[in-house]
Each structure stands twice: as C-alpha cells, then as structure tokens.
Amino acid sequence: MTQMSIWTDLTGVEHTLKYVDAGGVRTRALQAGTGEPVLFLHGTSGHLEAFIRNLPAHVAGGYAFHAIDMVGHGYTDGIDEPYRIPRYVEHVLAYLDAIGAERAHFVGESLGGWVAGRLAADHPERVGKLTLVAPGGTVANPEVMARIKTSTRLAVETDDIDLTRKRLHLLMHNPAKDVSEELVQVRHDIYHRPDFVRRVGNLLCLQEIENRREDLLSPEQMARITAPTLIVWGAQNPFGDIPEAHRMNESIPGSRLEIFGECGHWPQHEHSERFNELNLAFLGDGA
C-alpha cells in the first residue's frame, strides 16, 4: 500500500509550524485556519503529528486548528520536575493565554484526553466542547502502565529505530496501513533528542502507581464537567477496555460515546475521515 506523506496530507492548506512562549515554556505548535479555536492534545511520548490527518477537515469546517507538543514532548521544552497532570494543565492554559483565546474546544487523545478532562473539570470557563479520544487517566492498570513504560524506555534509550517502530505499532489496529516510515522517523528523531532522553523519567512518571493514583481523573471530577462531551474509543484499544469507556460515559453528565470497530488507540488517525465527520458535526451542534 502506498502511504501518503505528512506534507502531502497538508497540501493546499495554509498552515504555520512555529514556537510559542507558553508560560516560559518554548512550545511547538501547528496552527491553521480561522474561527473558534480547537486545540488538539496528544498522548504519552507523542507529538502534534498525531493530528495531521485532522487539520484539513477542521480548517475547511471553519475552525482555527491548533495542535501542540505538550510540555516535555515532541520539540517542546522539558522541565526539571515530574510531568504531572496539574503541570500539563498549567501549560495548556498558558498556551491559550499566549494565543489570546479566552476558551477553546478541545480534542484530547490518550494522555491529552486526561489533561483536557481535568482542565474541563477545574476550569470550565476555558472549555467550549470536549472530545476525548481513547482518553487515559481513569484507571491505574499495572500491566498497561508497565507496557507503556517499558516500550517507551527501550525506544528512547536504545538507538534502534525498530524499537520506535514497535512502539508506534502498539497504538494501531492495522499498523501496515497507519504507521508510515515517515512517522516512525519523526518519532525516532524526537525520542533521541538529548533533552528528551535526559528527562524521559519525568515524562513516564504517570506510569508509577503512586503518581498515577494521585492524578487520576476521578468520578467526582468527571461529574463536574459541564462542557458537551464526545468520547471516541477504539474497539481494539490496547491500553483500555471498552468497559472503561462506558464508565467514563456514565460519569460525565450528558456525554456521548462512539466506539470505532477495527480501531486501536488512535481513532483520529486510523479512521480519520469518520472521526473528522463525527467531530465536526459535534462541534457544529448548537446543543
């Protein structure tokens, strides 16, 4: 199968890749379009390229697309402290302030969903609508945590690109279709930045049980979310079973759950056309 390049996906759409000072953290951001801002947040050890397939449709839909590398991820600066959920939230709020946005719609995938959910619970005035894509942060599963920690450390601390490839393959139901060699190379380069290697322990701190339990998105916190919420889950999600999605759906008042078949941990990428259509209808719904 011929795989399209990241840059091919963006052909014909004016966009800017830039650095923004977000509360003193040099933050890489992909920006495009005009209208209400929609901020896309990636998962653990991820980066903004996770949302390349979503940019053209959301810009065409009349939204200002923003995807960032969260603190210590991608090409955004790291900090010399564990990357805990309140710190991620602080960084995201600083980015909103930096772009002059009183509030935004959020699309958070995995860790990004955890961060967006916590932000929506604690700062409801900053959130329009909330899309949680295979969100993490509601359970502490030692087996899953060990898988994330071990696979990430191996890929970061060993200069073998096949380990990065395997780390990406973990995410997808059909890696042959959805993991391009370009995506592997992008992540491999990120994983081997000296700053990233030096601080990988900070990045993986939420895979330690004591940190994770303190930062979990509790049923009480989810019950405080007032933003209209869409939850999207992959039926073959390797990092969370379907009952986890249903519990989140039950905990967030008025939320809607959509489960994608033949889909792993990146629904927005693996089934981008379906996701884009669904999310744009959700964002455009006046409810």
Which residues are identified as catalytic?
265
Those residues whose C-beta lies under 8 Å from the C-beta of residue 29, and which sit 6 or more positions away, are: 17, 18, 19, 20, 48, 66, 67, 68, 69, 95
Secondary structure letter of residue 69 according to DSSP: P
| Gap between the Cα atoms of 139 and 114, Å rounded | 11
212-216 own/partner pairs: CB under 8 Å, 24+ apart: 212/140, 212/145, 213/140, 214/84, 215/84, 215/85, 215/86, 215/137, 216/137, 216/138, 216/139, 216/140
Phi, psi of 285 (to 5 degrees): -70, 125
Whether the CB-CB separation of 22 and 69 falls below 8 Å is answered with no
| Gap between the Cα atoms of 61 and 194, Å rounded | 39
